[in-house]
Amino acid sequence: MQNIDLAKVLETVSFIQNKTNFKPQAGVILGSGLSGLVEATDIEHSLEYIDIPNFPVSTVEGHGGKLIFGTLGGKKIVLMSGRFHYYEGYNMQEVTFPIRVMKYLGAEILMVSNAAGGMNAAFKVGDLMVIKDHINLFPEHPLRGRNNAEVGPRFPDMSEPYDTALIKNAHQIAAANNIVMHEGVYIGLQGPTFETRAEYKYLHIIGGDTVGMSTVPEVIVARHMDMKVFGMSVVTDLGIRDELNVITHEEVLEAANAAAPKMALIFSEVLQQLA
């Protein structure tokens, strides 16, 4: 098995290029409840996932299912409103297929966002965290299989998956706008259950600050193709607390929606400062 079907990627890319000659500099992925960023984007063209050859179709409530081409922070972006999760039943090639397409459309940067549970005692619901590193606890790896060296190396370096300069810019932007923004480690796992109390504790002990069911496969594939990565979590619930901690998808969406404008501002200004 190949870890990437380049012919399929190129087929999708040429389909898109026949619809629009828009060349994005960055790809952006919106997490659950974070579609507020779409409103901040000056949209030029938009395609439903269902109409894009080889694209899987999103099934989760709160996920838009559109590929949007537009301008944010003065930069041309391709934006995924709704992502593909492993827990939906897609394999890792399907989950990460859009990242391959973004790269072959011209995107050199990937900006990812997610709604996540917080394990760090300093975090509150609605806080933002810029991702400085991740821990991959998914049961399947997106680069498993025969590698295509034309696309990326067999053994990609992961010592600095999230771009340090972009993190620094984000801190300055947050401070200038009085936005609380933490920095920390995101743990990605398969879901779809939220974690047990013992699991949240374990995830904190092994070094996690936030936890969610996405992002990590996408970031791995972006780094495989040497894209620069910027990532943010919105803390939508707190895994570490003594009282009984019942988490619902509705709560997650509500907290993410409330934090979306702050995140949109940071994404937009990080883009603005790109060369």
Alpha helix (H) ranges present in 42-123? 92-105
For residue 201, count CB atoms less than 10 angstroms from its CB and return exposed for 0-12, middle for 13-18, buried for 19 or more.
middle
Please give the residues from 185 up to 214 whose contact with ligand HPA meets the rule CB under 6 A. 194-195, 211-213
Task: Pick from 40, 247, 265, 274 the residue near ligand HPA by CB under 6 A.
Answer: 247
Task: Pick from 13, 72, 252, 271 the residue near ligand HPA by CB under 6 A.
Answer: 252
Q: How many CB atoms lie within 10 A of CB 1?
A: 7
Q: Is residue 253 near ligand HPA by the rule CB under 6 A?
A: no
Q: Is residue 260 near ligand HPA by the rule CB under 6 A?
A: no
**Residue 225: which residues within 8 A CB-CB, separation 6 or more?**
99, 100, 103, 151, 152
- Map residues 211-230 to x or -, x wherever contact with ligand HPA holds by CB under 6 A: xxx-----------------
Sign, CA dihedral 240-243-245-251, equals: negative
- Map residues 102-131 to x or -, x wherever contact with ligand HPA holds by CB under 6 A: -------------xxx--------------
The SS3 assignment for 207 reads coil
The answer to whether 75 and 271 are in contact (CB under 8 A) is yes
Pairing of strands 109-118, 210-212: antiparallel
- Min dist CB 128 to ligand HPA, Å, is 14
Closer Cβ to ligand HPA, 28 or 189, answer by number: 189
Closer Cβ to ligand HPA, 41 or 210, answer by number: 210
Query: Judged by CB under 6 A, which stretch of 7-15, 60-68, 139-147, 232-240 contacts ligand HPA?
Result: 232-240
Pairing of strands 26-30, 109-118: parallel
Closer Cβ to ligand HPA, 29 or 115, answer by number: 115
The answer to whether 275 and 169 are in contact (CB under 8 A) is no
Contacts with ligand HPA by CB under 6 A lie at 115-117, 194-195, 211-213, 236-237, 239, 247, 252
